Amino acid sequence: MPLGPLAALFLCTAAAGAAPGVSISVSKPSEKPVLGEPFRLEYEVSWPADYAISLDTAALPSGSGDFGVLEHSFKGKGPGGGKFLIKAVPFAMGISTFPPLSLLLSGPDGEFSASAPDVPLEIEPFIKERTPPNLIRDIYPPFRFGVPRWVWWLLALAAAAAAALWWRRRRRGFPAGGAAAGGEPALPPYENALRELDRLLSSGTWDPAAPKAFYVRLSAILRDYLDGEGGMEAQLMTTSDLLKELRKKTLTASLLADSRAFLNKADLVKFARLPVSEQERDSDADKLRALLGGLHGFFAPPPPPPPPPGQGGAR
| Residue 163, H or E segment | helix 149-171
Structure pTM?
Answer: 0.50
Strand-strand pairing, 102-107 and 110-115 = antiparallel
Residue 142 shares a structural domain with residue 281: yes
Compute the 3-state secondary structure of the chain and give helix, strand, coil in percent, each to the nearest 5.
Answer: 40, 20, 40
Q: What is the pLDDT of residue 300?
A: 82
| Boundaries of domain holding 213 | 128-299
Band the pLDDT of 215: cuts 50, 70, 90.
Answer: very high
Per-residue pLDDT of 216-227, as tens digits, reads: 999 999 999 998
Residue 104 shares a structural domain with residue 177: no
- CB contact burial 213-249 (16+ within 10 A = b; e otherwise): ebbbbbbbbbbbbbbbbbebebbebbbeebbeebbee
- Is residue 227 situated within a structural domain? yes
- Is residue 233 situated within a structural domain? yes
Distance, in Å, from the CA atom of 22 to the CA atom of 4, rounded to the nearest integer, reads 24
**Bigger pLDDT: 269 or 136?**
269
DSSP, res 114: E
User: Does residue 129 carry a pLDDT above 90?
Assistant: no
The residue from 69, 97, 124 where one domain ends is: 124
Long-range contacts, 236-241 (Cβ 8 Å, 24+): 236/161, 236/164, 236/165, 236/168, 237/161, 237/164, 238/157, 238/160, 238/161, 238/164, 239/160, 239/263, 239/264, 239/267, 240/157
- Is residue 315 situated within a structural domain? no
- Is residue 304 situated within a structural domain? no
Q: What is the pLDDT of residue 310?
A: 63
Residue 272 shares a structural domain with residue 147: yes
- Is residue 310 situated within a structural domain? no
